[in-house]
Amino acid sequence: MKCYKARWILTSKEEVLENKAILVDEGKIAGIIPFEEINLKEELVKDLGNAVVTPGFIDLFTQYQYTNICNAKPKSLKNRLKKFFQTIAKNYTFAGVKQDNYSRKWADILSAYFTMDRVEKIESFKDGLKNSIIAGTTCIAQVSKEDKYFEILNRCPIKNYLFFEVFSDSSEKSKKSFKTLRSKVENLIFHKGENTHIGIMLNSISGVHRKLWQLFSKYCRKHNMLLLTRFAESKDEIEWLEHGFSDIDLLHKFMGFRKITPYLKNITPVDYLNNLKVLTSKVIVANANYLNEKELERLAQTGVKFIYQPYYSEEICNKKLPFNMVLEHFGENAGISTQSFKQNKNYSLLKEIAELNKDVNLDITELIKYLTIYPAKILRLDNAIGTIEVGKDADFNVFKLDDGEDYKALINKDMPYSTYSKGRKIVKRGVIRFSL
């Protein structure tokens, strides 16, 4: 048994606790008691002083494999040649397409990633993961079509969801992709640790043939598995749904796919998936930047959960929804992501939501829920994380306060002083205390 004393504890429930101590036993919160009730040996009591404790933060959409693409410089001759031919192919495919085009931006990202070797990709992934944990993130939802990151996440001390991403361009390939990924997922489920969870990521409406939507939607419902997708995030996709073609076809061609066409033209994204019986409470959608108010309301009514990605939306999608509109339509069914492709990326969920709060002005006790209990419910992990209460895992952040500051000063902090996962200190003063 260990004890952590703090001036303030934000539980992500309704109360703010003052001058209380968290009792931790075998990684679980065993009690929350007043200072005067502490009855443990001195060496078992950690006095955090004038600090505010929060539950660990949850990032709902990460792709840490892309962390170092801005710095990627192929070292081997093989990769330099690969980059040369990738550049030629990209310039030929996207000739005449503006640099700020969504599909071209993704072609740039993928080109940089494809020219990294395996070691560089793994280091890129680890760098993103470490920076995120230093910023107080104790649970991530990582998206990748590659399984080489599974073992890293599986031995990592934080909670994680690994969503395996899949594309398909025909009915035949859909059936093959379904069988392949189903086999991979069912094999990994037997090898995963208790911190690791697995879901399915169908890339997007325009990147997945309707047959695969049907197959995995049925599979996820049957096996009570989460399904994630990018949704209406680009003008290219809206035009593809309207006309049956758009610049998204160029991206697919660059990636080696055949042309995919919608099963019905001039249809909204909500109707497209609703008609396939995809949209349910077990589905998580990201972005929806190009939906209007009426379509957002219809999307919310289906029960889907929502991921807000303001950095990614501005950088790649050329449009983002106002945060107040997200809260209006999705409320507790929303969480956020720090995904960004900038070289000086911000990994702090707290800093991100503090910026967003300038437009909505929520109390810090409500704001912190969008980093903790609400995303925990979206990932269906709220039985173990998301709040500080008896019986849950001791995943929490400690933020030091200056003299005269109370818990409300948390909004001005960027990084925690220390971070705990299941009662184990995994970060102190910006230094990771474990190896990946």
- Could you tell me how far CA 229 lies from the centroid of its own chain? 12
pLDDT for the residue 121: 94
Inform me whether the pLDDT recorded for 60 exceeds 80: yes
Q: What pLDDT, on the 0 to 100 scale, is given for residue 73?
A: 72
Least confident span in 114-118, 135-139, 180-184, 273-277: 114-118
DSSP 81-98: HHHHHHHHHHHHHTTT--
Average pLDDT score over residue span 78-104:
84
DSSP assignment letter at 24: E
Distance, CA of 213 to CA of 215 (rounded, Å): 6
Report the pLDDT value the prediction gives residue 41, as an integer from 0 to 100.
Answer: 87
pLDDT tens-place string over residues 288-315? 999 999 999 999 999 999 999 999 999 9
pLDDT in the model for residue 199: 97
Query: Is the pLDDT reported for residue 83 higher than 80?
Result: no
Strand order in the sheet with 227-231: 57-62, 137-144, 159-166, 196-202, 227-231, 283-287, 305-308, 334-336
Please provide the CATH number assigned to the domain covering 2-55+386-430: 2.30.40.10
Supply the mean pLDDT for the chain: 95
Domain residue ranges in the chain: 2-55+386-430, 58-378
Is the pLDDT reported for residue 343 higher than 90? no
Q: What's the average model confidence in pLDDT over 88-107?
A: 91
* Pairing mode of beta strands 283-287, 396-400: unpaired
Q: How far is CA 367 from CA 52, 242, 332, 405, in A?
A: 15, 38, 11, 18
User: H or E segment at 144?
Assistant: strand 137-144
Give the whole-angstrom CA distance, residue 404 versus residue 408.
11
What is residue 90's predicted lDDT score, i.e. its pLDDT?
86
379 and 365 Cβ atoms separated by less than 8 Å? no
> Does the fold of domain 58-378 match that of domain 2-55+386-430?
no
For 382, what's the count of Cα atoms within 13 Å in the CB-facing half-sphere? Answer: 17
For the whole model, what pTM was predicted?
0.96
**Of the given ranges (89-98, 100-109, 378-387), which has the lowest mean pLDDT?**
89-98
Q: Which residue, 405, 389, 338, is CA-closest to 59? A: 338
Residue 81 predicted with pLDDT over 90: no
The answer to whether residue 77 scores a pLDDT higher than 80 is no
- DSSP code for 224: T
Q: Which residues contact 305 (CB under 8 A, 6 or more apart)?
A: 281, 283, 284, 285, 330, 333, 334, 335, 378
Q: Which of 57-61, 118-122, 368-372 has the lowest mean pLDDT?
A: 118-122
225: left (phi over 0), alpha (psi -120 to 50) or beta: beta
CA–CA separation, 38 vs 317, rounded Å? 53
Alpha-carbon torsion (167, 217, 330, 300), positive or negative: positive
Q: Which two tokens stand for residue 334?
A: 């929303």
What's the CATH code, domain 58-378?
3.20.20.140
- The pLDDT score that the predictor gives to residue 88 is 83
Tokens 């990738």 belong to 86
Pick the closest to residue 117 from 160, 67, 74, 172 (CA basis): 74
- The whole-number pLDDT of residue 103 equals 96
pLDDT tens track for 255-273: 999 999 999 999 999 999 9
Query: Where residue 280 falls among pLDDT bands split at 50, 70, 90?
Result: very high
